[in-house]
Amino acid sequence: MLDLKRQYEPLRIELLEAVGRVLETQHFILGEPVALFERAAAQHLGVAHAVGCSSGTDALWLALAAAGIGPGAAVVTTPFSFFASVSSILRAGAVPVLADIAPQTFDLDPAAAEAVINGPRGSAVRAILPVHLYGQCVNWTEVARLGGERNLKLIEDAAQAWGGEWQGVKAGALGDAAAFSFYPTKNLSAAGDAGMVTTNDVALAERLRMLRQHGMRRRYFHDEIGWNARLDSVQAAILNVKIKYVDGWNRARRSVAKRYHAFFHAAGLAECGPYPEHGVVLPHEVTGSRHAWHQYVIRTRRRDALRQFLSERGIGSEIYYPVPLHLQKAFEGLGYKEGDFPEAERAAREVLALPIFPELREAEQETVVRAIADFLS
Ligand SMILES: *Cc1c(COP(=O)(O)O)cnc(C)c1O
């Protein structure tokens, strides 16, 4: 599914030297490598401020807390994402209100979000937290319109979307704030846990810096209850090396995606969708956007049997995500039930992520597509 050693090998010396330099200083918390990375990341994404932190999950919490989203507020988000998209809202003291996804992109459907905002729970809504799932930006034109009309904070979960764009604007520069994760499987990754919040708002950036360090502006003087959510120097040193290569890696991901498309079409398996019939529905790049190709996710009817078949042939695949968030035990208290979000539930039954990473070889992709063709015939 993912061979990180292929990325490490050519960077080995550069990475070891970068980590070595941090060890020589014996300064590990925040520090110069973090400040350097924050400047490089902000420039890369075309955003005024970047604030490094300990994980994508903490980035989501920090973004919400800094934007003043807490007790009494409701936040609209998607039921089809990683757990943290919803848990971070609860951590911030707010209430998640879910709206179904658009079946072609798997992202929050702005029309469904609007219906929720117009519904009985709508009056408490203070923010929308869309997720750019798999690297495809949510329909930001519609999200921004909705946010503007209702004066809502817009917080991107951009954990999977480093390098993604909506109408020429990078993910991370679209909303009031955006959360990134540098978890080892992400497009830009650390050697452990790391994350970042981006914003164009100087006051928000200052608040983020305070909250990531126990609400301190001045050492041992605590203005608010923040948390320890800092980025450490070793992770930042690694990210400073890798950020130089990430555009090239994303171009390689795009080539991998293009080849999958071509192979599936050549094999006569590609269907238009949004729902599969006898073949596979290929992932969709919305016109005017740039997919970051974090994942290459197909839809197919006999998904679990296909995954088993691939696994027996030594081919990795993954299900992101098998249980929609409204059906997670931990979120029982939200009061949702099966049937509430049919698109998310159907996606959870049909999606299968195929191997995609910059160093994936054409012959390996051929093997994957041939195996899927064998299964479907
Ligand atoms: C990875 C991810 C997160 C959480 O990031 P961590 O760094 O693992 O805490 C949040 N949201 C989405 C959509 C993710 O993919």
What is the residue-level pLDDT of the chain in tens, covering all 377 positions?
999 999 999 999 999 999 999 999 999 999 999 999 999 999 999 999 999 999 999 999 999 999 999 999 999 999 999 999 999 999 999 999 999 999 999 999 999 999 999 999 899 999 999 999 999 999 999 999 999 999 999 999 999 999 999 999 999 999 999 999 999 999 999 999 999 999 999 999 999 999 999 999 999 999 999 999 999 999 999 999 999 999 999 999 999 999 999 999 999 999 989 999 999 999 999 999 999 999 999 999 999 999 999 999 999 999 999 999 999 999 999 999 999 999 999 999 999 999 999 999 999 999 999 999 999 99
Residues 75 and 187 in one domain: yes
CA of residue 373 to ligand 1 center, whole Å: 32
224 and 254 belong to one structural domain: no
CA distance 132 to 165: 10
3-class SS of residue 126: strand
Do 161 and 111 meet the contact criterion of CB atoms below 8 Å apart? no
pLDDT value of position 375? 98
Task: Provide the greatest CA pair distance for the chain.
Answer: 68
Q: Is this structure's pTM higher than 0.95? A: yes
Report the pLDDT value the prediction gives residue 39, as an integer from 0 to 100.
Answer: 98
Give me the number of domains the chain comprises.
Answer: 2
Cα distance between residue 298 and residue 114, in whole Å: 28
Residues 250 and 327 in one domain: yes
Q: Is the CB of 81 under 6 A from ligand 1?
A: yes
| Residue bearing the CA closest to ligand 1, atom 5 | 56
Find out whether the beta carbon of 180 lies less than 6 Å from any atom of ligand 1: no
Residue with the smallest CA separation from ligand 1 atom 7 is: 56
Report how far residue 254's alpha carbon sits from residue 155's, in angstroms, rounded to the nearest whole number.
26
Distance 105 CA to ligand 1 centre (A): 18
Q: Is 82 in the pocket of ligand 1 (CB under 6 A)?
A: yes
* pLDDT (0 to 100) of residue 57: 98
C-alpha 133 – ligand 1 centre gap (Å): 10
Atom of ligand 1 nearest to the CA of 294: 15
Question: What does the pLDDT read at residue 90?
Answer: 98
Whether 189 and 335 share a structural domain:
no
Q: Is 157 near ligand 1, meaning CB less than 6 Å away?
A: yes
- Residues 231, 352, single domain; the answer is no
Write b or e for each residue in 298-329: b if 16 or more Cβ atoms lie within 10 A of its Cβ, otherwise e: bbbbebeebbebbeeeebebbbbbeebbbbbe
195 ligand 1 Cβ < 6 A: yes
For ligand 1, whether the C-beta of 321 sits within 6 Å is no
CATH of the domain at 191: 3.40.640.10
Q: How far is the CA of 82 from the centre of ligand 1 (A)?
A: 6
Asked if residue 289 has its Cβ within 6 Å of ligand 1, the reply is no
Residue 187 in contact with ligand 1 by CB distance below 6 A: no
CA of 55 to the centre of ligand 1 (A): 8
Which domain-ending residue is among 220, 242, 264?
Answer: 242
Residues 226 and 355 both lie in one domain: no
Indicate if ligand 1 lies below 6 Å from the C-beta of 63. no
H/E run at residue 74: strand 74-77
Same domain (yes/no): 275, 233: no
The reply to whether ligand 1 has any atom less than 6 angstroms from the CB of 107 is no
Ligand 1 atom with least separation from CA of 81: 13
CA 185/CA 146 separation, integer angstroms? 32
| Residue 85 beta carbon below 6 angstroms from any ligand 1 atom | yes
For Cα atoms 72, 204, 206, give the angle at the middle one, nearest 5 degrees.
125
Q: Which atom of ligand 1 lies at the shortest distance from residue 186's CA?
A: 1
CA of 149 to the centre of ligand 1 (A): 29
pLDDT of the residue at 14: 98
How far is the CA of 320 from the CAs of 169, 180, 224, 324, in angstroms?
26, 18, 36, 10
Query: Where a domain ends, among 214, 242, 270?
Result: 242
Ligand 1 atom nearest to 132, measured from its CA: 13
Q: Which amino acid is at 344?
A: A
Residue 257 shares a structural domain with residue 214? no
Where in the sequence is the domain holding 279, given as residue range(s)? Answer: 246-376
The pLDDT value recorded for residue 166 is 98
Q: State the number of CA atoms in the 13 A half-sphere of 284 facing the CB.
A: 19
Residue from 54, 78, 81, 82 to probe ligand 1 pocket by mutation (most atoms less than 8 Å from CB): 82
Quick one: which of 120, 136, 140 has its CA closest to 128? 140
Helix/strand/coil for 197: strand
Check whether residue 198 and residue 341 sit in a common domain: no
62 with 108, same domain: the answer is yes
Residue 85 alpha carbon, nearest atom of ligand 1: 11
Last-in-domain residue among 204, 222, 242: 242
User: Do 39 and 164 belong to one domain?
Assistant: yes
User: Residue 339 maps to which CATH number?
Assistant: 3.90.1150.10
Quick one: 314 and 238 in the same domain? no
